[in-house]
Amino acid sequence: MTRDPLRYVPHVLVTSVGYVVFAYAALPDLLTARLDIGLSSFGLLMSAPLLAFVVVQRPASRWVGRHTTTRVLFAGGLAHLALGLSVDLSASFPVVLALRGLWGLTGGLLLTVGATHISRLSEGANATRQQGVYGGLLTMGGMLGFLLAPTLVREYGWLALHAPGTLLSVPAIAVAGLHLSDRRTAPTETTTARGGVVLHPVVVLASVCYVAIIGSYITLSTFVTAYFADLGVVARLNVVVLASATAGRIVGGETSWRIALSDRRLIAGSTAAAALGFGAMAATGSSAALVVLPFVVMLAVSVPFGAVYNLAAGATDAEGTAIATIVAAGNVAALVLPPVTGTIRETTGSYGGAFLVLGALNAVAAVATYYTIRRKT
């Protein structure tokens, strides 16, 4: 494994981003009480950064087409550091919502540019491997948020909640700052128009798959604490669920690299398993199954993360625009699904309807990917 520190700048930054995105998800009861909101508003609060993730994709694709990803990560990292530390400054729901959305512009920028950075420094199966590790560290950051958030708020107050995760970005910002003149992450000449990238069949396929896996991941991460509370489970299983996501993304990347499994086959198999898992969660009445299945589906939707990114990046010679496209598509779904899930839960008293929606999305992704595999053979 190379010791080039520039290769790991996005990995460190995305860990910090994951922490800030999901720290609130560990505190549904405390946060709804503090802000005097219900579960629907809580879902909206979790979705606020994701709207910004979508909005920032157009400028992100333009910036990585003009500048080195190292420079963009450096500037975005500084903005992330400043805005991440500001999130806990208010107890007003509208203000917190606005701050979360503003921070989301930097979080979405770092997510997309980081993946583009990896695609410029890695190729082939190794790129899928690195994208898988990258995605795993995003969820590991969320897992750290789940682990630390309750203790931080209880012992030190709300102002201490996001600071540890945000400060994780400092070493990566420093390394990027020392490599601003490095041209290895510069954009290459592209012959493909933006419209040709967005509507490229492989990019469209990757977008459909990313909608399914990231929508499922965000929704499960947002409501896992409340879900287990409804089941009467008081153990910290929310952390274990995110650990499953972390392991799944890393294992998916390693599997592709070690046994030369194609990105499409990895995606098709994983999303099919997720669809079956969500269907079982909606249909079963077994308490044991309802406790175990979230781990299964989180693992299933996490395994193809790196493969989806690599599939999109390799479709054209404009990898930055391709990755921005799938991130925008996926985060539109991730923006909508948490509030919808909260509304379904409040209206019906269960999460069954939401599980059916997530299962259907993964089934569409599996069928579409399998169809393209059959067309190629």
Q: CB within 8 A of 304, min separation 6: which ones?
A: 209, 213, 252, 263, 266, 267, 270, 271
Mean pLDDT of the 214-236 span? 79
- Above 70 in pLDDT, residue 257? no
Cα separation, 66 vs 80, in Å, equals 21
- Above 90 in pLDDT, residue 272? yes
- Check residue 48 and give its pLDDT: 83
- Above 60 in pLDDT, residue 2? no
The DSSP letter of residue 223 is: H
- Check residue 260 and give its pLDDT: 66
Cα separation, 328 vs 28, in Å, equals 26
Residue 124's pLDDT band, with cuts at 50, 70 and 90, is confident
CATH architecture of 5-181+192-376: Up-down Bundle (1.20)
- Above 60 in pLDDT, residue 95? yes
pLDDT in tens, 186-209: 887 666 666 678 889 999 999 999
- Check residue 1 and give its pLDDT: 46
Q: CB within 8 A of 318, min separation 6: which ones?
A: 61, 65, 190, 192, 194, 197
Q: What are the CA-CA distances from residue 376 to residues 272, 369, 372 (Å)?
A: 19, 11, 6
Question: Residue type for 349, please?
Answer: G
Q: Which residue has the higher pLDDT, 2 or 344?
A: 344
Query: Which of 81-95, 138-152, 183-197 comes out lowest in average pLDDT?
Result: 183-197
- Above 80 in pLDDT, residue 377? no
Cα separation, 190 vs 203, in Å, equals 16
- Above 80 in pLDDT, residue 238? no
Mean pLDDT of the 135-149 span? 88
At 14, give phi and psi (nearest 5°): -70, -25
Contact in structure between 17 and 174 (CB atoms under 8 Å): no
On average, the pLDDT of the chain sits at 87
Question: Residue type for 183, please?
Answer: R
Could you tell me the sign of the dihedral formed by the alpha carbons of 38, 32, 355, 303, in that order? positive
pLDDT in tens, 166-192: 999 999 999 999 999 988 888 876 666
Query: Which of 217-226, 232-241, 282-291 comes out lowest in average pLDDT?
Result: 232-241
Mean pLDDT of the 9-31 span? 89
- Check residue 193 and give its pLDDT: 63
Mean pLDDT of the 231-254 span? 77
Mean pLDDT of the 130-139 span? 88
Q: Token pair for residue 55?
A: 């909005």
Q: What percent of the chain has pLDDT over 90?
A: 40
Residue listed under structure tokens 């980081």: 114
CA 225 to chain centre: 18
Question: Residue type for 117, please?
Answer: H
Helices (H), the chain: 9-22, 28-35, 39-55, 57-64, 69-84, 93-121, 124-156, 163-167, 170-178, 194-198, 201-230, 237-259, 263-283, 287-302, 305-313, 319-348, 352-376
pTM above 0.85, yes or no: no
Q: What are the CA-CA distances from residue 257 to residues 9, 11, 116, 176, 210 (Å)?
A: 21, 18, 19, 27, 20
Mean pLDDT of the 344-355 span? 90
Mean pLDDT of the 227-232 span? 82
Q: What percent of the chain has pLDDT over 70?
A: 95
